[in-house]
Amino acid sequence: MPKVLVYITAKITWIFLFWGTDFHENRAHVHVGKRGTEELCKIWLEPVVSIEFGGSLTENHQNQVLQLAIKYQKEMLKQWEIFKSGKKVKMITIKK
């Protein structure tokens, strides 16, 4: 499961990643969670950034990761293309 984006704050660290089985899906998306998250949130990156499945995240946390996905959509879409081509994904780390 390649990590695409790690967003670190004083209170929480969000991890955005692709699943190995995502390789066969055509529509770009990421899975998001934090340490201890049982069910990850699934976010579509195209055509519009939106939540497909909230997982075990609260509504507040879903809104937080959705805003991050919107902010970093272009970067994650570039990594999606790299992932789909079979190359190694570069992890982006943001510390706030």
Beta-carbon contacts of 71 under 8 Å, excluding residues fewer than 6 positions away, are none
Using 50, 70 and 90 to split pLDDT, how confident is the model at 95? very high
CB of 69 closer than 8 Å to CB of 32: yes
Which sequence spans correspond to the domains of the chain? 3-95
Give percent of the chain with pLDDT exceeding 90: 77
CB of 15 closer than 8 Å to CB of 30: no
Using 50, 70 and 90 to split pLDDT, how confident is the model at 38? confident
| Each residue's pLDDT tens digit, 58-73 | 999 999 999 999 999 9
pTM, 2 dp: 0.91
Q: Is the pLDDT of residue 77 over 90?
A: yes
CA–CA separation, 18 vs 16, rounded Å? Answer: 7
Q: Is the pLDDT of residue 1 over 80?
A: no
| Each residue's pLDDT tens digit, 19-33 | 877 767 789 999 999
Treating both helix axes as pointing N-terminal to C-terminal, what angle do 59-71 and 73-84 enclose, rounded to 10 degrees?
80
